[in-house]
Amino acid sequence: MKLNRYKINLLLVLSYFIVSCASQNSNSAEEDCGHYDSRSRECIKQVFQKNQSKITTLYYTELKHEPSLIGRVVFNIHIDSTGKVNQVFVTENESNSVHLANQLADVIKQFQFYDGVEYSFSYPIELAP
């Protein structure tokens, strides 16, 4: 019985250690984006991952009305030095849904990127259930 408690305590300590290490790594990556290379592909990807639920919700809502809705939509995005999105243009739309592409552009306009220099980039979103 004593040995089982020891194992449980050891597992709890190891679990705590693993979780704290994981959270430190994710925080340090976010801090890097905020202070160093805020316009890197990785930092841009982080912002999209943070907002993935908005994109997914919008897509699945549209998928109810159009079950065959799949494809790639590419956006040209311009952000200012404060990280605010100034412009979003659809440059490619394989989904053939202008309505969905425009809704996605509206959602992207609400994203907040990390501070840095004024910057433009293209970003693809793959739509598939």
Annotated domain spans of the chain: 1-36, 38-127
Q: Per-residue confidence at 35, pLDDT binned at 50, 70, 90?
A: low
Q: How far apart are CA 105 and CA 53, in angstroms?
A: 15
Tokens of 5: 């408690």
- Given a contact cutoff of 8 angstroms between Cβ atoms, the answer to whether 59 and 125 are in contact is no
1.50.10, 3.30.2420, 2.30.230, 3.40.50: CATH of 38-127: 3.30.2420
66-105: pLDDT as tens digits: 999 999 999 999 999 999 999 999 999 999 899 999 999 9
Q: What pLDDT does 27 receive?
A: 43
What is the percent of the chain where pLDDT is above 70?
A: 71
| Short-list 76, 58, 78, 48, CA closest to 127 | 58
Task: Please state, in angstroms and rounded to a whole number, the distance separating the CA atoms of residues 57 and 54.
Answer: 5
3 state SS of 37: coil
| 15 vs 80, more confident | 80
